[in-house]
């Protein structure tokens, strides 16, 4: 039985990933700020729920009383706005959660991780391209991919892999918030706002959360033992 850690496991992509690994028979630990959300994810499974501020070094360290076989750094945050209007506080918050949080999580995981271990970051298509009004988010996710690619080289000889999954807009509450933001900004109906959000995806739809889960599961599998330093885009051809 593998020991699997999922940060940001209280909702959205993290919840679906955690539930999938638990259903496969792995022992899953989920960590996030809100314990009530973690308990909803846990349901009637034997998942372990732990509080976490992924930007706080001591909080991250507290997760690693035992080694994990698979560590999925999924916790994330976003802030929209043009660079000229973006506050330093918003910039620092996004960097702390999205980039520093992945660094802290992976650094602690490597203190005990054994050969065959898997480090997986849930990044974004924003790791691979820029976008208007998402400068902080895109910069942080570009940083995540740089970290993944560099760390992959460091850990390769030890039999550990480090990869990133880069989804487009996924059908989760975070995407719903993005749609509502477009509605508020442009005064368009919700269906048109949703179409604008997925305009860059040739399939013209949001990514299903199960499609992201499948990509993560593959990278955690024995069949992906030579996949290292890779950015796996789940974007319908956008990337």
Q: Any idea which residue has 């975070």 for tokens?
A: 174
CA–CA separation, 75 and 124 (whole Å): 12
Summarize the confidence of residues 75-104 as an average pLDDT: 94
Are 193 and 219 members of one domain? no
* Tokens read off for 12: 């959205």
Are 105 and 133 members of one domain? yes
Counted domains in the chain = 2
Q: Is residue 239 part of a domain?
A: no
Are 144 and 191 members of one domain? no
Are 137 and 23 members of one domain? yes
CATH code for the domain of 62? 3.40.50.720
Q: Which domain holds residue 178?
A: 171-206
Confidence of residue 92 (pLDDT cuts 50, 70, 90): very high
Are 183 and 163 members of one domain? no
Are 105 and 44 members of one domain? yes
pTM of the model: 0.94
3-state secondary structure at position 73: strand
The rounded radius of gyration (Å) of the Cα atoms in the chain is 17
Q: Any idea which residue has 């898997």 for tokens?
A: 118
CA–CA separation, 80 and 65 (whole Å): 36
Burial (0-12, 13-18, 19+ Cβ within 10 Å), 149: middle
CA–CA separation, 42 and 162 (whole Å): 26
Q: What percent of the chain has pLDDT over 90?
A: 82
3-state secondary structure at position 4: strand
Catalytic residue among 52, 137, 178, 212: 137
More confident residue, 94 or 181: 94
* Tokens read off for 136: 């902080």
Q: Which of 2, 8, 1, 227 is nearest to 123 (CA)?
A: 8
3-state secondary structure at position 28: strand
Please check the confidence at residue 174 and state whether its pLDDT lies above 80.
no
> How does pLDDT run across 185-200, given as a tens digit for each residue?
888 998 888 888 888 8
> Average pLDDT, whole number, for the chain?
95
Are 62 and 127 members of one domain? yes
* Tokens read off for 86: 């973006």
Q: Is residue 97 part of a domain?
A: yes
Please check the confidence at residue 132 and state whether its pLDDT lies above 90.
no
Are 67 and 140 members of one domain? yes
Q: SS3 letters for 155-185?
A: HHHHCCEEEEEEECCECCHHHHHHHHHHHHH
Q: Which of 128, 154, 120, 79 is nearest to 233 (CA)?
A: 128
Q: What percent of the chain has pLDDT over 70?
A: 100
Confidence of residue 21 (pLDDT cuts 50, 70, 90): very high
CA–CA separation, 158 and 132 (whole Å): 40
Please check the confidence at residue 214 and state whether its pLDDT lies above 90.
yes
Are 165 and 181 members of one domain? no
Are 183 and 108 members of one domain? no
* Catalytic (active site) residue 68: no
Are 144 and 200 members of one domain? no
Are 215 and 182 members of one domain? no
pLDDT at 172: 84
Q: Is residue 152 part of a domain?
A: yes
């Amino acid at each position: 039985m593998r020991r699997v850690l999922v940060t940001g496991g209280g909702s959205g992509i993290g919840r679906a990933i955690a539930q999938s690994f638990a259903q496969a028979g792995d022992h899953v630990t989920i960590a996030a700020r809100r314990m009530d959300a973690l308990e909803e994810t846990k349901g009637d499974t034997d998942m372990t729920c732990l509080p976490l501020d992924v930007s706080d070094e001591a909080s991250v360290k507290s997760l690693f009383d035992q080694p994990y076989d698979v560590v999925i750094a999924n916790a994330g945050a976003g802030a929209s706005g043009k660079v000229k209007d973006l506050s330093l506080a918003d910039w620092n918050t996004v960097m702390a959660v999205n980039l520093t949080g992945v660094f802290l999580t992976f650094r602690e995981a490597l203190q005990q991780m054994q050969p065959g271990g898997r480090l997986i970051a849930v990044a974004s298509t924003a790791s691979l391209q820029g976008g208007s009004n998402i400068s902080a988010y895109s910069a942080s996710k570009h940083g995540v991919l740089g970290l993944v690619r560099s760390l992959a080289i460091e850990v390769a000889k030890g039999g550990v892999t480090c990869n990133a999954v880069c989804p487009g807009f996924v059908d989760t509450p975070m995407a719903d918030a993005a749609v509502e933001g477009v509605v508020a900004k442009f005064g368009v109906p919700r269906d048109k706002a949703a179409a604008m959000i997925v305009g860059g995806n040739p399939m013209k739809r949001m990514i299903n959360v199960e499609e992201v889960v499948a990509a993560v599961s593959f990278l955690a599998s024995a069949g992906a033992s030579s996949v290292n330093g890779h950015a796996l885009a789940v974007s319908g051809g956008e990337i």
